[in-house]
């Protein structure tokens, strides 16, 4: 099965506000996860919300929602932020 990360508009804005070295670190890690056969084994399912997983990258969290079919899945990045702020509504 193939996986690809895509940023939603709000996640793209969140990402743009991060410092450059943090952006590079997140992109490098997302590329690593994308290269795996099953990247969601490295993610944790959020309780209380349907179909949202989080990847931990240092002090930052990347929240994703899988979208797609049986052979190709897009991991839609819905939010990026520091661990103390990312879970706020």
Q: Which residues span the domain enclosing 77?
A: 2-82
State the pLDDT at residue 40.
92
**Domain assignment present for 56:** yes
Q: What is the pLDDT along the chain (89 residues), one digit of tens a residue?
A: 789 999 999 999 999 999 999 999 999 999 999 999 899 999 999 998 889 999 999 999 999 999 987 778 899 999 999 998 888 75
Q: Is 25 a member of any domain? A: yes
87 domain residue, yes or no? no
Residue 89 counted as domain residue: no
Instruction: Please give the pLDDT value at position 66.
Output: 93
Give domain status of residue 41, yes or no: yes
- Number of domains into which the chain is organized: 1
Q: 3-state SS of the chain: helix, strand, coil percent to 5?
A: 30, 35, 30
- The pLDDT of residue 69 is 74
pTM to 2 decimals? 0.90
Q: Is residue 33 assigned to a domain?
A: yes
Output the CA torsion 64→81→10→2 (10° steps): -30
């Amino acid at each position: 099965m193939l996986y690809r990360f895509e940023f939603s508009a709000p996640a793209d804005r969140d990402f743009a506000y991060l410092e450059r070295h943090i952006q590079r670190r997140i992109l490098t890690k997302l590329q690593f996860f994308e290269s795996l056969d099953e990247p969601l084994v490295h993610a944790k399912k959020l309780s209380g919300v349907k179909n949202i997983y989080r990847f931990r990258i240092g002090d930052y969290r990347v929240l994703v929602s899988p979208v797609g079919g049986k052979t190709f899945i897009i991991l839609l990045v819905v939010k990026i932020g520091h661990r103390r702020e990312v879970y706020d509504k």
